[in-house]
Structure 1
Amino acid sequence: MTKPTTVSYFFNQSLNADTSLTAKQRQIILAALDLFAENGFEKATTAEIAARAGVAEGTVYKRYKTKRELLNTILNRFASDVVPQAAQEFATDEWTKADATLHAFLTALVSNRIEFIADNYQIIKIIASEALNNAEMQQQVLGNIGSRLFGELSKHIDRLKAKGEIVDWPNDILMQFVVGTMASLAVRLFVQLPPTDLADQTQHMVAFLEKGLTPAK
C-alpha cells in the first residue's frame, strides 16, 4: 500500500507555491512549525525560532508581532490548504479500492490512517489543540475532511450493507465508531503512552471493529 504523504510535505508545497512570501518568511514559518511540534507552543521561544530560521530575533518580530500571530499564520494555512490536500489524497487512496470483504476494507482503511497518525501526530496535536478552542477552524478542518472522507466511507458502507456484511445502522453512527477507534491512537500518542508495534495496533483495531460491526447470526 502506498505510504500516505506527510502533512509537512503538503505544508512545504504550500509555502513554496505562495509567491507573496519572502525567503525569510518561509524560513521563520518552517522553523516555528518545527519548534511548536517538538516543544509545544508555550515552550517554544521567538529566540529559538530565530536561531532555527537563521535570522535575527528582530526579524521575527518585524514579520509577526507576536508568537500567537505566527501560530495563527501556520494554522490558517493548514486549515485552508494542507488539510484539503491531505483529505483529497485520503479520499482517493488505495483503501478506497478495497471492494471485497468487511475485513479487507477495514484492514486497508485502518492501516492507512494508523500510518498517517504515527507519521504526523506532533503536528496533528497542534492543530487539534487549537481547533478545540477555535470554532472557525473547527468548521474549516472538519468541513474539508467531512466532505471528502464521509462521502467515500458512505459508499463502502452502503456496499457492505447490501452484501449483508455490516450491521444495518445509520451510516453516521457506523462512521463515528470507525473514525473514533482510529482516533484513539492519536489520543494515546498525545498523552505520550508508548504504543505497541503499529502492525499490532492495526490487527487489534481491525479485530475490534470487525467483531462489533459484523451482523449477528
Structure 2
Amino acid sequence: MLPESNEDWIEQLLKLSDEEPKMTEKQTKILHAAIEIFAEKGYAAASTSEIAQKAGVAEGTIFRHYKTKKDLLLSIVLPIMAKLVAPFVLRNFTPVLEAKYTRYEDFLRSLIRNRLEFARQHLPMIKILMQEIPFHPDLQEQFKTEVMNEVLTRIKKVIVFFQQEGQIIPLPAATVVRLTASVIIGFLITRFLLVPEQEWDEEEEAETCIRFIMHGLATR
C-alpha cells in the first residue's frame, strides 16, 4: 500500500477539471495499481497483468479503456501527474523558500530536512517522475516551466541576499544553485534510491553536506 500521504495526493489526481470525463471506479483502481507498480518496477518491467491483478479487475478491462500499456502510462498517469506536478513537488516547500535566515547554512539545513521528509512521504511518485521524465518531452517541459523556474527564482533571491551580506563568494547565483543542488540531490538519491538499506544517520549526513557546501562557498 502507498503511504497515507500518497493516497491523499492520488485523490487530488482524480479531481479532474469539469471539461474532462470523470473516471469510473475501475479506472480509479487501475490508476492506483499503475502508480504502485510503475513506482516499484518502472514502466518497462511492469505488466498489465500485474496491474490488473493489483487493481482487482480483469486484464481485458484495462484494454477496454487503454489500448496498450503505453497508452495506460500516457493517458492516465503522466498527463494527470503533469497537471499537478508543480504543486506536488512544491508541496510544503514554499515556507522554506520564504522564511528569513541569518546564515546560508541555516537555509541549507531547513532545505535538506524539508526535502528528506518530502522524499520519505512520496517516494513512489518520485520514482515515477525520475523514471519517466527523461523519456517524455512534454513532462520535461512541464517540469522545467512550472517547477524548476519557480524554485530557481526563489533560491536565487536567497543566494543574492547572502552574497550581499558577504557570506557567500560572488559566483553567479545559477552556479551557486547548481553546486548546492548537486550535493543535496546526490544525498537524497543515494539515501532513498541507491542504498536505502544502509544504516543512515540523516542528521549527521545533512551536516556533512552543509559543511562541504559551505567550505566551497564561504567567503572566509
1:55 maps to what in 2?
57
Q: Is the 8 A contact 2:52 2:58 kept in 1?
A: yes
Aligned-pair distance for 1:198? 2.2
1:21 maps to what in 2?
23
What CA distance in whole angstroms lies between the structure 2 residues aligned with 1:174 and 1:7?
32
Q: Structure 1 residues 136, 91: closer, same or farther in 2, change over 3 A?
A: same
Identify the match of residue 67 of structure 2 among 65, 68, 74. 65
**Matches for 1:1-217 after TM superposition, within 5 Å:** 9-17=8-16, 20-72=22-74, 73-81=76-84, 83-188=85-190, 189-192=192-195, 194-195=197-198, 196-215=200-219, 217=220
Deviations 1:109-146 (A, max 9, x none): 11111222333334322222222122222111121112
What CA distance in whole angstroms lies between the structure 2 residues aligned with 1:153 and 1:6?
26
- Give TM-score scaled by structure 1 length: 0.86
Question: Which has the bigger relative contact order, CA under 8 A and spacing at least 6?
Answer: 1
Gap runs ≥5 in structure 2: none
What CA distance in whole angstroms lies between the structure 2 residues aligned with 1:165 and 1:78?
39
Q: Is the 8 A contact 2:169 2:217 kept in 1?
A: yes
Deviations 1:165-188 (A, max 9, x none): 111110111111112212113432
Q: Is the 8 A contact 2:35 2:124 kept in 1?
A: no
Aligned CA-pair RMSD = 2.3
What CA distance in whole angstroms lies between the structure 2 residues aligned with 1:202 and 1:6?
24
Aligned-pair distance for 1:44? 2.4
Q: Is the 8 A contact 1:113 1:182 kept in 2?
A: no
Gap runs ≥5 in structure 1: none
Q: Structure 1 residues 6, 85: closer, same or farther in 2, change over 3 A?
A: farther
Paired residues in the alignment total 211
- Larger deviation, residues 156-165 vs 179-188: 179-188
Q: Structure 1 residues 185, 123: closer, same or farther in 2, change over 3 A?
A: farther
Deviations 1:53-95 (A, max 9, x none): 12221111111111111112212211221x1112443552245
Identity of aligned residues (%): 27
